Amino acid sequence: MITVSNLKKSFDAVDALKGISFNIAQGECYGLLGPNGAGKTTTISILSTIINPNEGEVKIAGYDLKKNPLDCKKNIGVVTQEIALYNELSAYDNLLFWGGLYKVPRQELSEHIDETLGLLGLTERKNDKVKTYSGGMKRRINIASALLHKPKILFMDEPTVGIDPQSRNLIFEVVEKLHEEGMTIIYTTHYMEEAERLCDRVGIIDNGEIIAQGTLNELKNSGSMKESVVISYTNLTDECYQTIEKEWKDLRRFEDTIHFYSMNIQGDLSKLILMCNEFGLDMRHIDIQKINLETIFLNLTGKQLRDK
Ligand SMILES: Nc1ncnc2c1ncn2[C@@H]1O[C@H](COP(=O)(O)OP(=O)(O)OP(=O)(O)O)[C@@H](O)[C@H]1O
Ligand SMILES: [Mg+2]
């Protein structure tokens, strides 16, 4: 449904995109996960024909973005990172305006507006001016405005930043519903738990490059990362550690704490507890470190996703 090859974009001295490529199948929800300044919005802006790339090819719904930008545009809805609404107008009138821009016929438009207002839980407030809305409600109207022309593809650029938990949950449910109904979605975020929950596949983007992509399971298995059981002891001696080292080859010690790396946490946990008893060790704390997108990102880049 979407093919992006070797996309490059520079702003003066900044290489915002250094040649990114990815393919998205019809009906897939693809997450672009990366920290501030990674190039997420630049990618979305190019794909939505807002800015031109310096190099690269993009195909959307079978159309070449350079040759047939209008055909591409008809197929996509865009939820921009910056909310664009008229504060003095009601939600309904804002949607009339946006629908008009997409040239949705009037009768169809009022049906679609009612439908999207319902989907986003805003029917009761539809006649109130947008200036009376909370940030989360504005965000929901922003999403509604992207759906009025019934696009096959939806781009959502960090749709949950800075909003209340209730709106955030509602947005998750809307994304899940649209996904179930077969919409192809690109969802950018720097919240790994959102990508984990919503996306079939994830591209991890950093400094204008996609540094890894795949399903969560593929990403977990692609690196050399292993889950670990982390145990802190009250009475760990050097002598005792040397004995443990003989029993358990893959481990690291940090003072009173040992990281036991494991390919099978469930099975190994009981062995570790038995070993503790056997050696007369007293546990102060036990923790299981799972592999998730956050740890994968940390492993690939040496930095936290949410570093500003
Ligand atoms: N119009 C512009 N002029 C100059 N530099 C820009 C412009 N737009 C983006 N950049 C730069 O390009 C890089 C990528 O920016 P982009 O907005 O795509 O990042 P992002 O991943 O969306 O970040 P965020 O999570 O903060 O939204 C950054 O270094 C940014 O400063
Ligand atoms: Mg952005």
| pLDDT exceeds cutoff 80 at 302 | no
Return the pLDDT at 266: 86
Atom of ligand 1 nearest to the CA of 42: 18
Which bound ligand lies closest to the C-alpha atom of 32? 1
Atom of ligand 1 nearest to the CA of 39: 18
**What are the structure tokens assigned to 219, written together?**
């990403």
| Domain extent for 230 | 226-290
pLDDT band at 306 (very low <50, low <70, confident <90, very high): low
Return the closest-CA partner of residue 95 out of 109, 105, 76, 77: 109
**What are the structure tokens assigned to 218, written together?**
């593929």
Instruction: Specify whether 53 is located in the same domain as 169.
Output: yes
- Cα 189 to ligand 2 centre (Å): 8
Would 8 be classed as within a structural domain?
A: yes
Instruction: Tell me which of 156-165, 217-226, 231-240, 241-250 is least confident.
Output: 217-226
Region 56-71: mean pLDDT is 96
Instruction: Specify whether 98 is located in the same domain as 118.
Output: yes
Comparison of pLDDT for 43 and 191, the residue scoring more: 43
Pocket test for ligand 1, best of 7, 8, 14, 189 (most atoms within 8 A of CB): 14
- In eight-state DSSP terms, residue 124 is G
**What are the structure tokens assigned to 173, written together?**
């449910």
Identify the domain boundary among 221, 240, 263. 221
Region 182-198: mean pLDDT is 94
Instruction: Specify whether 206 is located in the same domain as 282.
Output: no
Q: Residue 70 in contact with residue 48, Cβ under 8 Å?
A: no
Instruction: Specify whether 252 is located in the same domain as 277.
Output: yes
Would 308 be classed as within a structural domain?
A: no
- B/e letters for 8-29, b = 16+ CB within 10 Å, e = fewer, are bbeeeeeebbeebebebeeebb
Strands 63-64 and 184-189 come out as unpaired
| Region label for 217, one of left (φ > 0), alpha (ψ between -120 and 50) or beta (otherwise) | alpha
- The CATH code of the domain that includes 40 is 3.40.50.300
Atom of ligand 1 nearest to the CA of 45: 18
Instruction: Specify whether 8 is located in the same domain as 140.
Output: yes
Instruction: Specify the length of the chain in residues.
Output: 308
CA–CA distances in Å: residue 175 to residues 116, 171, 217? 13, 6, 21
Query: Which three-class secondary structure string do you get for 166-212?
Result: HHHHHHHHHHHHHHHCCCEEEEEECCHHHHHHHCCEEEEEECCEEEE
- Cα 69 to ligand 1 centre (Å): 23
- Cα 62 to ligand 1 centre (Å): 28
- Cα 41 to ligand 1 centre (Å): 7
Instruction: Specify whether 87 is located in the same domain as 163.
Output: yes
| pLDDT exceeds cutoff 90 at 114 | yes
Residues in a beta bridge with 20 = 7
Instruction: Specify whether 42 is located in the same domain as 171.
Output: yes
Q: Whose CA is nearest to atom 1 of ligand 1?
A: 11
Q: Find the helix packing angle between 106-119 and 91-101, rounded to 10°.
A: 130
- The CATH code of the domain that includes 271 is 3.30.70.980
Region 39-66: mean pLDDT is 96
Instruction: Specify whether 166 is located in the same domain as 283.
Output: no
Identify the domain boundary among 197, 221, 245. 221
Residue ranges around ligand 1 (CB below 6 Å): 11, 14, 16, 34, 36-42, 81, 190
Query: Which three-class secondary structure string do you get for 37-89?
Result: CCCHHHHHHHHCCCCCCCEEEEEECCEECCCCHHHHHHHEEEECCCCCCCCCC
Using CA atoms, how far apart are residues 8 and 188, in angstroms rounded to an integer?
A: 18
- Cα 36 to ligand 2 centre (Å): 7
Using CA atoms, how far apart are residues 76 and 14, in angstroms rounded to an integer?
A: 28
Which bound ligand lies closest to the C-alpha atom of 35? 1
Using CA atoms, how far apart are residues 219 and 214, in angstroms rounded to an integer?
A: 6
Instruction: Specify whether 140 is located in the same domain as 246.
Output: no
Q: Which residues contact 91 (CB under 8 A, 6 or more apart)?
A: 117, 122, 125, 126, 127, 128, 130, 133, 141, 144
Instruction: Specify whether 125 is located in the same domain as 96.
Output: yes
Pocket test for ligand 1, best of 11, 210, 306 (most atoms within 8 A of CB): 11
Q: Whose CA is nearest to atom 16 of ligand 1?
A: 39
How many separate domains does the chain show?
2
Identify the domain boundary among 221, 240, 266. 221
- H or E segment and range at residue 247: helix 238-247
Return the pLDDT at 308: 41
Region 207-217: mean pLDDT is 92
Atom of ligand 1 nearest to the CA of 208: 14
Atom of ligand 1 nearest to the CA of 43: 18
